[in-house]
Structure 1
Amino acid sequence: MAKTELPERAQYVIVGGGIVGCSVAYHLAKMGHNDVVLLEQGQLSCGTTWHAAGLVGQLRSQPAMTNLIRYSTQLYADLEAETELATGWMQCGSVTVARTEDRMTMLMRTAAAARAQGVDVDVLTPQQAQDKWPVMQVDDLKGGIWMPGDGKANPTDLTQSLAKGARMRGAKVIEGIKVTDVLTKDGRVTGVETDQGRIEAEVVVNCAGQWARSLGKMCGVNVPLHSAEHMYIVTETMKGVNPDLPVLRDPDGFIYFKEETGGLVMGGFEPEAKPWGMDGIPDKFEFSLLPDDWEQFEILLENALIRVPEMETTGVRKFYNGPESFTPDNNYLLGEAPELKNFFVGAGFNSMGIASAGGAGRALAEWIVHGEPTSDLFAVDIRRFADFNNNPTWLHDRVKETLGLHYAMPWPNRELDTARPFRRSALYDRLAAKNAVFGSKMGWERANWFAPEGTTPENEYSFGRQNWHDAVAAEHKATREDVAVFDQSSFAKLLVQGCDACTELNRICAANIDVAVGGTVYTGLLNTRGGFESDLTVLRLKEQEFLLITGSAQAVRDADWIGKNFSPDAHVFLTDVTAAWSVLALMGPKSRQVLQQLTKTNLSNAAFPFGTVQKIDLGYATVWANRMTYVGELGWELIVPVEFTVGVYEDLKRAGQDHGIIDAGYYALDGLRLEKGFRAWSRELTPDITPLQAGLSFAVDFDKPSGFIGKDALVAAKADPNHLSKRIIQLVVEDEMVQLWGGEAVLCDGVEIGEVRSAGYGHTLGAAVALCEINATEPVKADFIKAHSFEVDVAGMRFAAKAHLRTPYDPKSERVRADG
């Protein structure tokens, strides 16, 4: 093939010719954007792609991610006819087996989630599993599941086919060229420097795989991933192994199998991985492998011999040890980098690149062309990480654990253990001394619950009630009946200032934030489709100064969204001030009595109404007190300078002694907000859900003169009678012993209609409470709720539940606005 001449400029330059880079090129070209140049330092499919196992499993924990992979399977099935290049795609199905009762429970939950997402699935007995996969022994198994839509592909062939599809539509693919620098000017990318010359570009896409982190560093972009050794073997031919053999996953043994040329590919994800490449990835490593490491592989081989005893007498044709890149949370990285305009990333696929590449490539191409995602991509959005997540020492230690997460038991509320503690609030040591059990969010150590004195402060995971149930019930009760203090210092805080701050924010926010100084407004940030990009609280501190309080995980993403939507010539500045302020939430019917002992400020409803913020004295400290609640009770969020936090906390605990004050954590907070029906970003509120569907129309001002982003879509939605066929509803389970965790299927009159987005135990209502997304064939209004019966599928067992559009707990919010 003749060498492609290097153009001087292109609209899109993609760096990396693995399966993801080729998919992005293919989809850009398919959308009619054919001024695409893909640069590969070696040959197409080198790097990670060529030694990938090629498994394609459809189901993911988030429906949005499942939809991307389902698109991949359809693309791979059709691509060969389009390009006349084989892809090796075979829809052979997959069997996943369980060795333990807990794993079988998890598979039953998986089956329910699959049905809710429209994915074909069957639950199998051990004998039925063996019928599907005759080569294995099943004496130790509890059962399994069969997913006929899963399959396998040849990664190299698939990559070449995508590349040909891109070329057929005008894209250029240049191999043997190395990018040596990324060019920038005025905060945006302008092109790349290569060892063969410069290419100017409007958009640069980093699909460099293991090299993506170092490519990002060239232009100040953080791409938090780290390589780890990943191994599998290919056996000699085995009796009973044929090309139609399904993929087999045995997660309790950390292993998988697939057929290859009459033998078996056997690999897996060991619980403690072996990081690699701390000093950088060698340039000429494109088709290289690492030395065999049978010691590291031993745990996988031992489990493989249990499942397939015949392997003991079967030769090994090849040992592959090919490093792959892994991210801190085992989800890949997608989207425009917040540090540099028009620089996009598609990397860190955590051994899921073949399955994900089709859908991820399309999603990234659409994001590039339309300027924002066209679906809910929060789970993989690169903006879920901050610059500190790119610390190489931290990444090294975290990746030891994340590789093994593929087959680790996905316990409800499972916390990662490595590279912690990380970010700590001013109260971390004091809460730890009180038996706090911490979880991690955006690196913050957050007290999830407090273990009673004399007990061990740690989680004991299960699919039923976990060991913290009773302790959280006490925290919940104190908040409802007396008073509790929550350390919510991990809240992200963004300060927006400037002459145009009000005008700009009012266009970006759906609610009207042009309120009097001291006003507090709950609002959504909407995309052009009318879906939620975030929800947050806006505090007007001065005429030209606003403090935005948003979720712990949203600081980078929200700042990026807001900043990108500021008018270019506006006099407005956004500063992340999260680290400067703690937040202590004092909540409960006795919160006013406690706080009034410490301040001269009048806290009555008349002087300090709900939805307002004032600067108050509190003991020796001066703090902002925001009368707002996420638990559905009277209370204040105290925004405290970090240096005063310990003193304020001690004053609150001392003043609250006679009122039964206790410390409470995030598990209680979640249960309390679910009882009240309060929605949460990334759970009930997503880019694909509008305020109308979420039941949050009250937080939208259709009449404000400035209008707002997403208004046109919402106006159209209001006029569409079918818009409310998708709706967020609340369910309260009738059986008080049932435990929900999220992800369960919701049934209406016995038919799957949606899924639980978040769930907890409502100790005041005495039952599990869930917020669910349902998709009906008619508008979901009060009459619909009354006319139908609802159930929740919990690991194959159905439980009746009462549906609500308005919460049964204090539906008029009288407790929140209580006086006296």
Structure 2
Amino acid sequence: MVDGNIPEQAQYVIIGGGIVGCSVAYHLAKMGHRDVVLLEQGQLSCGTTWHAAGLVGQLRSQPAMTNLIRYSTELYAQLEAETGLATGWNECGSVTVARSDDRMTMLLRTAAAARAQGVDVEVISPSQAQEKWPVMEVDDLKGGLWMPGDGKANPTDLTQSLARGARMNGARIIEGVTVTDIRTDGGAVSGVVTDQGTIRAEVVVNCGGQWARRLGQMCGVNVPLHSAEHMYIVTEQIDGVSPDLPVLRDPDGYIYFKEETGGLVLGGFEPEAKPWAMDGIPDKFFFQLLPDDWDQFEILLENGLIRVPQMADAGVRKFYNGPESFTPDNNYLLGEAPEVKNFFVGAGFNSMGIASAGGAGRALAEWIVNGAPTSDLFSVDIRRFANFNNNPTWLHDRIKETLGLHYAMPWPNRELDTARPFRRSALYGHLSSKKAVFGSKMGWERVNWFARDGENPNVEYSFGRQNWHDTVAAEHRSTREGVSVFDQSSFAKLLVQGRDACVQLNRICAANVDVAVGGTVYTGLLNERGGYESDLTVLRIKDQEFLLITGSAQAVHDADWISKNFDTDAHVFLTDVTAAWSVLAVMGPKSRDVLRKLSKADFSNTAFPFGTVQEIDLGYATVLANRMTYVGELGWELIVPVEFTVGVYEDLMDAGVEFDLCDAGYYALEGLRIEKGFRAWSRELTPDITPLQAGLNFAVDYEKPGGFIGKKALTQAKSDPDHLNTRIVQLVLEDRDAQLWGGESVLCNGVEIGEIRSAAYGHTVGSAVALCLLHAPERVTAAFLSSHRFEVDLAGVKLTAYASLRPPYDPSSERPKVDG
């Protein structure tokens, strides 16, 4: 139904009347914002929403995402009472089954993570699974999980109910209106052009589903998603299938089931997906399906008949082949676009839009109103992608794999195989010839480890120690005892220049970056809540020139955060110079010896103190040498112009022969940094964690002139007796043979108290090491940790752990500052 003619202006214009767009409208209106207009080119839910399966599973790999879906279930349960429209919400629970020992291990890990996140879960036997789902065969099963809080909903009814709730609170929803252009002015959105006129707008929200990519292109915004066919069938009635039958997931067979009018919905995610509409999504693709494709569906049907043999005697009432949009990493896209201010995106929900819509709609509405996320949303933040991720050929090939990974085994350190190699450092060819095994981060090919002679240069995935364990141990020891070189060229580099550069950066950074030229400062970038938006290193190259070095995945995010926090009239400019510079980290007790063979610079503590950067000669090249470490040893990060990188690397390897210089990769780096307790962005450091909780208060200057973003919240937190009930803590396992990967739950005196955020094997310590996030009933102090018993739940086995606030390796940080 059309709510009248389109207005000439509105504060908020939402494009797209699927469940996500209606959720954003609902939540903006519930927050008291009445000037909300939602535009739908057809009818509500006519694009993807109407043919969604409607499954709602609470648990996700990130706690923040689990919290959003938990909110969705709470919202859906009360929405009918609020609006008077049924939603079809049924908290029927879900059963997930395992056909293999590895899958059962994964489910046991999932159960531990669920308990740590407060999700009700029970590990069940095959016979117990059959009791809850009587129509399935269980002879080939190892066990399963029962999650009573999961459920299902009717997507169309749910969308209509959210729409009514939005209208009841003042929002306008107008159907039959097509957006033909999006206008901008001065780098900000200014309105939308439709086939029925133009609407001036302060904020535009792109919830266009499959059309979201094209809508983004109208104003120069990259929305990297691609449509793929998603198929399921609905059977005739089957004996034993009742309305309260739980949702069933059989990931080893790539399939799911739910009850529908006495029959079964059988769907899934085939290992190799079928992308759709390479030439663009048709404008009027409303309430339409694609042709049946039984050949593509065959693997799902075969596995469905294994699980429910009765299906062979049941007719197929309907074959649904509905396209949906998928992203390159299986997480949806949320937030303000970095290219255009006040243009927000909520799209690419990867077949989990019904489950996510309630929480995602609220989160996006809060982001719009508050100007920043109100919780940790980095895993779905649109700024985790760059413009090159929107390449249609790359998207096509990547989406074929990521859709199939929905039910694939989530092995630790699993790497994607398609659309690679992608971004390559200047040393890619050299390192490849040394049997480097590459991983991918922000598209960069980064060396994870170097296979030795006779070794398989591929990862053999498992939940225990993987095939590279001993090789990485050698790289680890080389760094601790001798010297190693790491190619860290994927580090993002941002150049900030201008007469106001220092003042502006000092307000954005928590530490004081107004240091002498040649000074290097580690700092956090905090939000108004005092939580981390990023952490990075600031190098003062000249009086009005700073080089910021940040994580590989953070270039777009950090550049956007910093730029949007510059004063509008400030004389300051930010440029992403990542592609211009390589970074070679020379680390270890003998690093000084190697560099002295190639340079006339003085590398002593007096001439070259820790935390400083100098331009030095190195062979024929001139480079920046930054005395900093992420491994806890003496070392220098060499920031090298790309055109000199190969020469510098060859010189280093030649000079390092007598010191047994070793190539090392990111697997070794991870173990080294966790032994030393170094925190990592998006693991230990998140928008919900403050420097006080992270143990990094030393990197905050409360007294510097002008203050900094987040100072008020941090100052208040210092006087809050409960603030340090949440804290990042170091763990070391007592069992020297166990392997941790991250995500495991942590128990204190037998009660779940937190989760591991980062883990690796600490080859110097001789045991698995981890950094975990604890939520304790009292202040987490050294006394608290020493007076309580800590365990890690590793796939159902409780392992004793030693907990401390200080790292197990070099807790006084003497080794990086050794003189010589």
What amino acid is aligned across from residue 119 of structure 1 in structure 2?
V
Please list, as runs of the form range in 1=range in 2, the aligned pairs for 1:692-703 lying within 5 A after superposition: 692-703=692-703
1:23 pairs with 2:16? no
Please list, as runs of the form range in 1=range in 2, the aligned pairs for 1:66-81 lying within 5 A after superposition: 66-81=66-81
1:2 to partner: Cα distance:
5.9
Please list, as runs of the form range in 1=range in 2, the aligned pairs for 1:262-411 lying within 5 A after superposition: 262-411=262-411
What amino acid is aligned across from residue 77 of structure 2 in structure 1?
A
Determine helix, strand or coil for the equivalent of 1:379.
Answer: coil
- Unaligned runs of 5+ residues in structure 1 are none
CA distance in 1, matches of 2:35, 2:653: 64
What amino acid is aligned across from residue 812 of structure 1 in structure 2?
S
1:202 pairs with 2:225? no
Q: Any conservation in 2 of the 1:515–1:540 contact (CA below 8 Å)?
A: yes
Q: 2:556 matched to which residue of 1?
A: 556
1:705 to partner: Cα distance:
1.1
1:181 pairs with 2:181? yes
Q: Any conservation in 1 of the 2:325–2:349 contact (CA below 8 Å)?
A: yes
Q: 2:624 matched to which residue of 1?
A: 624
Q: 2:781 matched to which residue of 1?
A: 781
1:64 to partner: Cα distance:
0.4
CA distance in 2, matches of 1:242, 1:45: 27
Deviation track 1:585-629 (CA, whole Å, cap 9, x = no partner) reads 000000000001100000000000000000000000000000000
Determine helix, strand or coil for the equivalent of 1:146.
Answer: strand
Q: Any conservation in 1 of the 2:2–2:173 contact (CA below 8 Å)?
A: no
Please list, as runs of the form range in 1=range in 2, the aligned pairs for 1:739-754 lying within 5 A after superposition: 739-754=739-754
1:3 to partner: Cα distance:
4.8
1:405 to partner: Cα distance:
1.2
Q: Any conservation in 1 of the 2:2–2:174 contact (CA below 8 Å)?
A: no
Determine helix, strand or coil for the equivalent of 2:815.
Answer: coil
CA distance in 2, matches of 1:82, 1:342: 31
CA distance in 2, matches of 1:713, 1:548: 25
Deviation track 1:402-460 (CA, whole Å, cap 9, x = no partner) reads 11111000000000000000000000011111010000000000000011112221000
CA distance in 2, matches of 1:680, 1:456: 30
1:684 to partner: Cα distance:
0.2
Please list, as runs of the form range in 1=range in 2, the aligned pairs for 1:791-810 lying within 5 A after superposition: 791-810=791-810
Q: 1:250 matched to which residue of 2?
A: 250
1:151 pairs with 2:151? yes
What amino acid is aligned across from residue 533 of structure 1 in structure 2?
E
CA distance in 1, matches of 2:351, 2:811: 47
Q: Any conservation in 2 of the 1:4–1:173 contact (CA below 8 Å)?
A: no
Q: 1:487 matched to which residue of 2?
A: 487
Determine helix, strand or coil for the equivalent of 1:190.
Answer: strand
What amino acid is aligned across from residue 179 of structure 1 in structure 2?
V
CA distance in 2, matches of 1:735, 1:34: 59
Deviation track 1:73-109 (CA, whole Å, cap 9, x = no partner) reads 0000010000000000000000000000000000000
CA distance in 1, matches of 2:795, 2:358: 31
CA distance in 1, matches of 2:66, 2:660: 47
CA distance in 2, matches of 1:219, 1:630: 40
What amino acid is aligned across from residue 747 of structure 2 in structure 1?
L
Deviation track 1:724-745 (CA, whole Å, cap 9, x = no partner) reads 0000000000000010000000
Q: Any conservation in 2 of the 1:64–1:375 contact (CA below 8 Å)?
A: yes
Q: Any conservation in 1 of the 2:2–2:176 contact (CA below 8 Å)?
A: no
Q: 1:604 matched to which residue of 2?
A: 604
Q: Any conservation in 1 of the 2:3–2:172 contact (CA below 8 Å)?
A: no
1:120 to partner: Cα distance:
0.3
Determine helix, strand or coil for the equivalent of 2:817.
Answer: coil
Determine helix, strand or coil for the equivalent of 2:816.
Answer: coil
- Unaligned runs of 5+ residues in structure 2 are none
Q: 1:674 matched to which residue of 2?
A: 674
CA distance in 2, matches of 1:397, 1:139: 37
Deviation track 1:504-561 (CA, whole Å, cap 9, x = no partner) reads 0000000000000000000000000000000000000000000000000000000000
What amino acid is aligned across from residue 595 of structure 2 in structure 1?
L
What amino acid is aligned across from residue 189 of structure 1 in structure 2?
V
CA distance in 1, matches of 2:184, 2:652: 51
1:804 to partner: Cα distance:
1.0
Q: 2:593 matched to which residue of 1?
A: 593
CA distance in 1, matches of 2:409, 2:786: 38
Determine helix, strand or coil for the equivalent of 1:378.
Answer: coil
Determine helix, strand or coil for the equivalent of 1:231.
Answer: strand
1:808 to partner: Cα distance:
2.0
CA distance in 2, matches of 1:560, 1:283: 32
Q: 1:122 matched to which residue of 2?
A: 122
Deviation track 1:122-161 (CA, whole Å, cap 9, x = no partner) reads 0010000000000000000000000000000000000000
Please list, as runs of the form range in 1=range in 2, the aligned pairs for 1:212-227 lying within 5 A after superposition: 212-227=212-227
CA distance in 1, matches of 2:78, 2:404: 33
Q: Any conservation in 2 of the 1:488–1:585 contact (CA below 8 Å)?
A: yes
Q: 1:132 matched to which residue of 2?
A: 132
Determine helix, strand or coil for the equivalent of 1:323.
Answer: strand
Q: Any conservation in 1 of the 2:137–2:309 contact (CA below 8 Å)?
A: yes
Q: 1:110 matched to which residue of 2?
A: 110
CA distance in 2, matches of 1:96, 1:652: 53
CA distance in 2, matches of 1:521, 1:182: 41
1:439 pairs with 2:435? no
What amino acid is aligned across from residue 512 of structure 1 in structure 2?
N
CA distance in 2, matches of 1:245, 1:739: 38
1:568 pairs with 2:568? yes
Q: Any conservation in 2 of the 1:257–1:266 contact (CA below 8 Å)?
A: yes
Q: Any conservation in 2 of the 1:731–1:772 contact (CA below 8 Å)?
A: yes
Deviation track 1:480-501 (CA, whole Å, cap 9, x = no partner) reads 0000000000000000000000
CA distance in 2, matches of 1:801, 1:185: 57
Q: Any conservation in 1 of the 2:623–2:640 contact (CA below 8 Å)?
A: yes
Q: Any conservation in 1 of the 2:59–2:66 contact (CA below 8 Å)?
A: yes
1:473 to partner: Cα distance:
0.1
Identity %: 81
CA distance in 2, matches of 1:386, 1:92: 40
Q: Any conservation in 1 of the 2:206–2:215 contact (CA below 8 Å)?
A: yes
Q: Any conservation in 1 of the 2:731–2:803 contact (CA below 8 Å)?
A: yes
Q: Any conservation in 1 of the 2:731–2:804 contact (CA below 8 Å)?
A: yes
Q: Any conservation in 2 of the 1:398–1:418 contact (CA below 8 Å)?
A: yes
CA distance in 1, matches of 2:777, 2:105: 31
Q: Any conservation in 2 of the 1:39–1:175 contact (CA below 8 Å)?
A: yes
What amino acid is aligned across from residue 674 of structure 1 in structure 2?
I
Please list, as runs of the form range in 1=range in 2, the aligned pairs for 1:404-423 lying within 5 A after superposition: 404-423=404-423
What amino acid is aligned across from residue 86 of structure 1 in structure 2?
A
Please list, as runs of the form range in 1=range in 2, the aligned pairs for 1:602-751 lying within 5 A after superposition: 602-751=602-751
1:786 to partner: Cα distance:
1.1
Q: 1:812 matched to which residue of 2?
A: 812
CA distance in 2, matches of 1:720, 1:188: 39
What amino acid is aligned across from residue 254 of structure 2 in structure 1?
F
Determine helix, strand or coil for the equivalent of 1:287.
Answer: coil
Determine helix, strand or coil for the equivalent of 1:322.
Answer: strand
1:218 to partner: Cα distance:
0.5
Deviation track 1:659-682 (CA, whole Å, cap 9, x = no partner) reads 011100000000000000000000
Q: 2:516 matched to which residue of 1?
A: 516
Q: Any conservation in 1 of the 2:96–2:146 contact (CA below 8 Å)?
A: yes
Alignment CA distance shift 1:3-1:680 (3 Å): closer
Alignment CA distance shift 1:2-1:469 (3 Å): closer
